[in-house]
Amino acid sequence: MTLSNQDLQDALRMALKGEYFRKVVILDIAEDFLKFALRFFKEIVSAKLDGDEIHSGWYERYFLKGRYLPADTTIYSGLNGKTIDNIYGTRRKAVVYQASLDHHDELLKLVEFLVNDEISGLEIELTITLNGVSVNLSLNETLIVVNTLGAKRLQLAGGGWSYLGNRLEKPLMYTLASLFGVPRENYAGKGLTHEGREVDFHFVSRTGQLYRCETKLMGKGNPESADAVIARNTEIFIADTLSDLNKRQLTTRGVNWVDLRSDEGYRRVFGVFQKLDIPCRDFSGDLDAALDQIIPAVFEEIG
């Protein structure tokens, strides 16, 4: 996925105004998914013509043990790389490959059970025609294909949200610093905790105290939110949106948080700057006009 500078600037403006900035990648995700689906259907025709029913292994031979990379094998088995990493603690090729095959075997058993016991009597037949040649997929086969499409859609969505968030985190901090008049020498793009762990950003007070800042442009209630800042000994946490539980956790631990999706949420950072004695000035002008000037300059600075 690639986004233009203008796309990113538009998304940053939406995030600062408390709007749903992820909509800039929704169509990109849809486009990538539809392209995958069309390629998948074309390949199914070739694979199906060279095999028999699903229990005879045409899907496994072509999509799992054929010409694909481990990441492809994972998707075609109905999994994704992050899930395997969470389960096994690694994304080594051999582990990913075997985990995918094992999952596919279990999925086949599940499909067989559902078709025979849970949805007995239901008849669905998917027909795919390419250049006048048609293949028919049984209910079992159709369920496997649908599961693969679902896994791919989730992978693309997760990757799209992550890509956009990562691209916006640094510009967001530079923009907030500029908006509230923090001198350039009082902030920087990366910082380290005393354990040597990297955090997204840091601010410096008038007395030279360094305050670590973590940015997470995530969904509401994301369980990684409070955990991330606690693990990195972070003093400032800025998020797209936080649940009430997140806010209570952060407040209890003395972390200064900013929820951009709340009413004029961006303004809360000014209070944080004041509390931590970081040089700043209040902003009370027209936000759109200010962002028209600040955001292009920020993107030019950070490249």
For the segment 235-294, what is each residue's pLDDT rounded down to a tens digit?
Answer: 999 998 888 888 888 898 889 999 999 888 999 999 999 999 999 999 988 999 999 999
Residue 213 near residue 173, CB atoms below 8 Å:
yes
- Tell me which H or E stretch contains 188: strand 187-188
For 294, counting Cβ atoms within 10 Å of its Cβ (0-12 exposed, 13-18 middle, 19+ buried), the class is: buried
Cα–Cα distance, 218 to 232 (Å, whole number)? 18
Cα–Cα distance, 143 to 206 (Å, whole number)? 62
Helices (H), the chain: 5-16, 23-49, 58-59, 70-76, 81-88, 93-113, 139-179, 224-231, 244-252, 268-275, 287-302
HEC per residue, 35-78: HHHHHHHHHHHHHHHCCCCHHHCHHHHHHHCCCCCHHHHHHHCC
pLDDT of 177: 96
Question: Of 33-42, 84-93, 114-123, 268-277, which gets the smallest average pLDDT?
Answer: 114-123
CATH assignment, 181-282: 3.40.1350
Tokens 């045409």 correspond to what residue? 58
Cα–Cα distance, 161 to 156 (Å, whole number)? 9
pLDDT of 195: 47
Q: What is the dihedral of CA 215, 220, 225, 226, to 10 degrees?
A: 120
Torsion angles phi and psi, residue 128, rounded to 5: -120, 125
pLDDT of 194: 47
Given a cut of 70, is residue 192 above it in pLDDT? Answer: no
Given a cut of 70, is residue 34 above it in pLDDT? Answer: yes
pLDDT of 219: 55
pLDDT of 9: 94
What number of CA atoms fall less than 13 Å from residue 247's CA on the CB side?
Answer: 10
Q: What is the mean pLDDT of residues 180-194?
A: 78
Token pair for 293: 């000037």
Residue 165 near residue 80, CB atoms below 8 Å:
no
Q: Where are the domains of the chain?
A: 20-162, 181-282
Mention every residue, 6+ apart, whose C-beta is less than 8 A from residue 238: 172, 173, 176, 213, 214, 215, 216, 257, 258, 260, 269
CA distances, 278 to each of 152, 162, 202, 269 (Å): 45, 30, 11, 11
Q: Residues, the chain, total?
A: 303
Percent of the chain with pLDDT over 70: 88
Residue 202 near residue 187, CB atoms below 8 Å:
yes
pLDDT of 15: 93
pTM attached to this predicted model: 0.79
Token pair for 187: 């902030």
